[in-house]
Amino acid sequence: MAREHFQNMLREVEHELAGMGEMVVAAIEGSVRALKHVDKAEAERIIAADDAINCKRWQIENQCVQLFATQQPVAGDLREIVSFMDLITNLERMADHAKGIARIVVMHDQTPLLKPLIDIPRMAEKAAEMIRGSLSAFIRQDVDAARAIMEMDDEIDALYEQIFRELLTYMMEDPRTITRAVYLIWVSHNLERIADRVTNICERIVFMVTGETCGN
């Protein structure tokens, strides 16, 4: 019965983790949508909503502490609980990057975008796919899926480099575009960092399941 209760508590934490993941995805998608329309009100809403994600992070962490304190987890359980805490930290940092994009929208202050957004929404879509996939892989303890998601980071990196080169060309051809170009570079950098955080999660999945680090 004690083991069954412990497993039920773990499943409850997984449910909360999935909910936090969807909150983060919504923040990413909303921030890029706000950028696309230079919607300052939407951006400010996303910035304010970050508090709820932070609260969710601490709520889940408290659940993990309770598992440590009351359930006497064994070795494999310990790796899973520690992994939960690592995941929520990475998710919270992703939300910070989404908030960073929203702040750039506020800084834009109704100024038209330098160019129509093509690759930045693609980066956001790919990042959201990676987040959802990594959380699913975590819950299923699917190492193969985690490793496949890590490889998707190369696609994000390629898009980031493409955006950077294109915007650099704008700045070189017309210095008046520099400020707006830099804003878009900052946005793409935030999305690139989100993908890096997903890679951290996938590496944690490998460790949780196998006990091995990527260097082993």
Spatial separation of the C-alpha atoms in residues 164 and 153, rounded to whole Å: 17
Read off φ and ψ for residue 114, nearest 5 degrees.
Answer: -65, -35
> Which pLDDT score, from 0 to 100, does residue 6 have?
76
Distance between CA atoms of residues 158 and 100, nearest Å: 21
Cα separation, 203 vs 197, whole angstroms: 10
pLDDT for the residue numbered 5: 73
Residue with tokens 């999660």: 201
pLDDT of residue 65: 87
Q: If the chain, 216 residues long, is cut into consecutive pieces of 10 residues, what is the mean pLDDT of each piece? A: 74 92 97 96 97 96 83 70 92 98 94 94 97 95 96 96 97 96 98 97 91 61
CATH 1.20.58.220 for domain 2-210: yes
Q: What is the pLDDT of residue 75?
A: 62
pLDDT digits (tens, 9 = 90+) for 89-127: 999 999 999 999 999 999 998 899 999 999 999 999 999
Q: What pTM, to 2 d.p., does this model score?
A: 0.92
Write the DSSP symbol of residue 113: P
Q: Determine contact, residues 54/89, Cβ cutoff 8 Å.
A: no
Q: Give the span between the Cα atoms of 170 and 88, in whole angstroms.
A: 38
The CA distance from 205 to 175, in Å, is 46
Distances (CA, A) of 11 to 80, 207, 210: 11, 19, 20
pLDDT for the residue 74: 66
Annotated domain spans of the chain: 2-210
